[in-house]
Amino acid sequence: MKIDKNKNMFSLKGKTSVVTGAARGNGKEIAISFAKNGANVILIDKLLPELKKLKKELKKYKVTTKFFLCDLSSLEEIKDLISKIKKEKIYIDILVNNAGVSFSSTSKIYPDDLWEKTYKVNLKAPFLLSSGLINNFNKNSSIINITSLGAELGFYNNVAYQTFKGALRQMTKSMAMDYAKFKIRVNNLSPGYIKTNMTKKSFSNKTRRNKLINKTILGRLGTSKDLIGTVIFLSSLASEYITAQDLRVDGGYTYKGDV
């Protein structure tokens, strides 16, 4: 498809996107934004009722929508997912590795089982999907890894989440080097405090919430919709000379001084 870059730099029409953790939260909003902008959407999650509901919701955008059930903590299920995508000859323009888990613990020694669960979903799954589908990417494709403030900053009681988000951030740079020859760009999107199920506890605690707002330059916490502009940018030809980068969508949280 020939594209007039001057008129359609941000166009996603006719592209095919894959979003992990698509059933709710940031992943759901990202999937909706792709459909709104004309991209076909492949939804990946383990939550069947939510996937069915979202697929029905996306019908009104008149794009092709499929979903695959997959528990991203399971190596066998990831292998099966990759096999199905290959068998159906689905060729990808955009992969958003959004799925993530977070398990805080106040134990003196962080539990080994929580460490392993976090590793499998937050780091191993993005690696396996990106590398396993390498031959299914079209030229000028984009991989977007969703990292976190925890990839750079230290927080209490969640060493596994911060460790593997930090590792994902670094893996992106290595992948960008390796995948450039395949015409695939790889970047990080690092959200700030976004209202999702994962952050519900922080948002519902008024003292904690006000503290976070005070730490944010823009003076408010984020919503999933705040991520969409950056996702569209990184998915489109508007960012075709951008790879291996960390784009923070955090309202200035990372850089605010004098709190």
Nearest to 190 by CA among 97, 91, 127: 97
The answer to whether residue 238 scores a pLDDT higher than 50 is yes
Mean pLDDT to the nearest integer, 97-110: 97
pLDDT digits (tens, 9 = 90+) for 177-202: 999 999 999 999 999 999 887 777 77
Which of these CATH numbers, 3.40.50.720, 3.40.50.1820, 3.40.50.620, 3.40.630.30, describes 5-196+223-252?
3.40.50.720
pLDDT band with cut points at 50, 70 and 90 for residue 76: very high
Mean pLDDT to the nearest integer, 108-120: 98
The burial class, CB within 10 Å (0-12 / 13-18 / 19+), for 181 is exposed
pLDDT band with cut points at 50, 70 and 90 for residue 203: confident
Q: What whole-number distance in Å separates Cα of residue 244 and Cα of residue 49?
A: 36
Dihedral angle sign, alpha carbons of residues 74, 101, 197, 218: negative
The full DSSP string for 203-258 is HH-HHHHHHHHHTSTTSS-B-GGGGHHHHHHHHSGGGTT--S-EEEESTTGGG---
Helices 125-132 and 75-87: crossing angle in degrees, nearest 10, is 20
Those residues whose C-beta lies under 8 Å from the C-beta of residue 185, and which sit 6 or more positions away, are 140, 141, 142, 143, 176, 179, 234, 239, 240, 242, 243
The answer to whether residue 259 scores a pLDDT higher than 70 is no
Q: Which of 91, 161, 179, 255 is catalytic?
A: 161
pLDDT digits (tens, 9 = 90+) for 121-144: 999 999 999 999 999 999 999 999
The beta strands (E) that lie in the chain are given as: 16-20, 40-45, 65-69, 92-97, 137-146, 184-191, 246-249
pLDDT, position 2? 54
pTM: 0.95
Is 161 considered catalytic here? yes
